[in-house]
Structure 1
Amino acid sequence: MVHDLSHPVVDGMPTYPGDPPVSTDAVATHATDGYRLARLSCGTHAGTHIDAPAHILPDGRTLDEFDVSAFVRVCRRVDCRDLGPRAAITADRLPDLDALDDAVDCLAVWTGWDTHWGTPAYRDHPHLVPAAAERIADAGLAVALDTAGPDPTPPVDGAPADTASVADASSETTADGDANWPAHRAILGAGEPIVENLRNLGAVGTTFELRALPLRLDGGGSPVRAVGVER
């Protein structure tokens, strides 16, 4: 069974604060031209997408430098749905990484936050603290999430942030977000990709195959059509 884990690409869809808006403008229509063609305008990190190391690291690998097999991963799903807005996902929430099946090379963090997609609350997702991200990086695992990213996302302008929710003493972030993006840096710095803005992780099992193939770009990110395949 194959499950769609991607958000639809539509005009005005949510984007990370400061990123370009998404638009799909008609260029030709069946009524006037006999065929249909549109112009898609978006940032490379719009919607369900993948981050390459070059996204954060000046000397990091770009997407086109990866073998295509790097975008097909065996995931262990980590259930974090009990966590509230801007809660810290600490290292003790992770499974025993040494005991994972040898085939597993990605952790899929399941927060259920995709239900907030399209609302201001989507920015208030739980996030990995540096100690958790570093543990994942040390294990050589990629990360996939149903949130805007592994680090906190800045709140909607004027909205209060619950800074007390960041509970790990080793955390270098605040619940407001931090331009150092320590979780990104740990995982991308280990040469592993990050898949963000997934949806529908409840449809797959605890272990599943994630296929998230990007465009072949000389860049740090690309939208993907992510699917989960039951194992």
Structure 2
Amino acid sequence: MIDISLPLDWNLITYPGDARYEHYDYMTHEKNGVHITRVIMETHSGTHIDAPFHALPNGGTMSSIPLEHLNGPATVVEVNGNAINAQDIPGTVEKRVLFKTKNSGLYDSFHEDFCYISESAGKRLVDLGVETVGIDYLSIEQFGTKGMKVHKILLEKGIAIIEGLMLKDVKPGRYELMCLPIRIDTDGAPCRAVLK
């Protein structure tokens, strides 16, 4: 198995304006006879899934995303440009498509010039009947754009979005994706994603 999730730790980068991940000793063996850690994070920290409500005011929350969409055969597509365009997507892909880009090497600090999914690519993924789209950075949208257009193209059609994947050591090809969000019914949720 290949773990394609980002570790949740103090070094986790965040999108500008988002709260940073933190964790503290809440109880300790010395004081309480047990150790419990308090974790402070946003639903879109690290490797996570976007629910429709993240971009659509009347969209569903995490419970609206079938777990079947997040688990099963997946295609890892490698794109070397600054944007993922319709022509970068093969004609035949699995129901789950993960994009490996230059982004997997950008997790040292936030970079505004990360590779993103274009509107034309979003529409092509809809036309191909994809159920889940993943990318190896904090957002599928081009940095600085307004309106979350690509999110809306995908989420309006019930396509799940996984952001924050680590695909640096993954070769393009066919895999089995296993991706489970924590069971929290909000606009998104952290998840653990692995390929087999």
* TM-score, structure 1 normalization: 0.78
Structure 2 residue aligned with 1:115, among 84, 99, 105? Answer: 105
Residue in 1 that maps onto 2:114? 125
| Conserved 8 A contact 1:54-1:61 | yes
Unpaired runs of 5+ residues, structure 2, are none
Q: Secondary structure at the match of 2:169?
A: helix
Residue in 1 that maps onto 2:8? 9
Structure 2 residue aligned with 1:143, among 133, 139, 150? Answer: 133
How far apart, CA to CA, are the structure 1 residues paired with 2:86 and 2:175? 22
CA drift of 1:225 comes to: 1.1
How far apart, CA to CA, are the structure 2 residues paired with 1:228 and 1:112? 19
Number of residue pairs the alignment of both structures matches: 195
Moved more, 41-50 or 65-74: 65-74
| Conserved 8 A contact 1:10-1:23 | yes
Report sequence identity in percent.
Answer: 29
Residue in 2 that maps onto 1:159? none
Residue in 1 that maps onto 2:186? 219
Residue in 2 that maps onto 1:91? 86
| Conserved 8 A contact 1:140-1:190 | no
Trace 1:42-191 onto structure 2 (pairs within 5 A): 42-80=41-79, 82-83=80-81, 87-96=82-91, 99-100=92-93, 104-121=94-111, 123-141=112-130, 142-153=132-143, 177-191=144-158
User: Is it true that 1:199 corresponds to 2:159 in the alignment?
Assistant: no
Q: Secondary structure at the match of 2:180?
A: coil
CA drift of 1:68 comes to: 2.5
Q: Deviations over 1:136-157 (max 9, x none)?
A: 022221211111221113xxxx
Structure 1 or 2: more strand by fraction: 2
Residue in 2 that maps onto 1:31? 30
* TM-score, structure 2 normalization: 0.91
Q: Secondary structure at the match of 1:202?
A: coil
CA drift of 1:19 comes to: 1.7
Question: How well do the aligned residues superpose, as a CA RMSD in angstroms?
Answer: 1.7
Structure 1 residues 200, 92: closer, same or farther in 2, change over 3 A?
closer
CA drift of 1:12 comes to: 5.2
CA drift of 1:40 comes to: 0.6
How far apart, CA to CA, are the structure 1 residues paired with 2:168 and 2:73? 14
